[in-house]
Amino acid sequence: MTYIAIFASGTGTNALRLMEHFAAHPDIRVGVLVSNKPGAGALHHADDMGVPTLVIDRKSFYESESLLTDLDLYHVRFIVLAGFLWLVPPYLIRAYPNRIVNIHPALLPRHGGKGMYGMRVHQAVRDAGDPETGISIHYVNERYDDGAIIFQTSCPVGPSDTPDDIARRVQALEHRHYPEVVEQLIAQQPV
């Protein structure tokens, strides 16, 4: 069995889809859901799914490497960011080389970087008049939304679409593709 950790700061709709997808998987399980935000919806979803949770604080996340011990405890081999808004520190990237992925709700390199998350991204797409947007799944490096892209798919943006309309379309793409892409990546990992 390969155990993964999901890191999530927010509502956790992607985290929920991932936990549901892997709940009955023969080889892959979500071992722990990590959040930097006490009370985050993602933590409630994990409780409902019977997935252990861990709440981290900024100081220990950036000034110690104690998280590595916790992740070892849950036998975590792969990390999936699902709306996790803190920059991942170098020690974590070194410990999980090419084993940390993120999803971004736009076609990177457009509309990524620090502060670009959630509705801000869809508002930026609207303001730029982009005719299309989409999702990007990428490896995580030491900069926001910057690592090598693994998968992208797009959807059209109409002239009368609001940021809410765009968000709904993009979220549907995220829910459809993220679990499957993660599953394929893990299947390709060396044992």
**Residues that are catalytic:** 104
Nearest to 25 by CA among 150, 138, 136, 182: 182
Other beta carbons less than 10 A from residue 179's beta carbon: 20
Backbone angles phi, psi at 165, to 5 degrees: -60, -45
Select 63 or 164, whichever has its Cβ closest to ligand GAR.
164
Select 71 or 121, whichever has its Cβ closest to ligand GAR.
121
Select 47 or 72, whichever has its Cβ closest to ligand GAR.
47
Backbone angles phi, psi at 9, to 5 degrees: -105, -15
Contacts of 96 (CB under 8 A, 6+ apart): 78, 79
Task: For the CB of residue 145, give the shortest distance to ligand GAR in the complex, in Å.
Answer: 5
| Residue nearest to ligand GAR as judged by C-beta position | 83
Task: For the CB of residue 141, give the shortest distance to ligand GAR in the complex, in Å.
Answer: 13
Q: How far is CA 17 from CA 79, 125, 172, 173, 180, in A?
A: 15, 25, 11, 12, 10
Task: For the CB of residue 19, give the shortest distance to ligand GAR in the complex, in Å.
Answer: 11
Task: For the CB of residue 108, give the shortest distance to ligand GAR in the complex, in Å.
Answer: 9
Q: Which residues of 122-153 are buried (b: 16+ CB within 10 A; e: fewer)?
A: bebbbeeebeebbbbbbbbeeebbbbeebbbe
Footprint of ligand GAR (CB under 6 A): 8, 10-15, 82-83, 103-105, 116-118, 121, 145, 174
Select 75 or 183, whichever has its Cβ closest to ligand GAR.
183
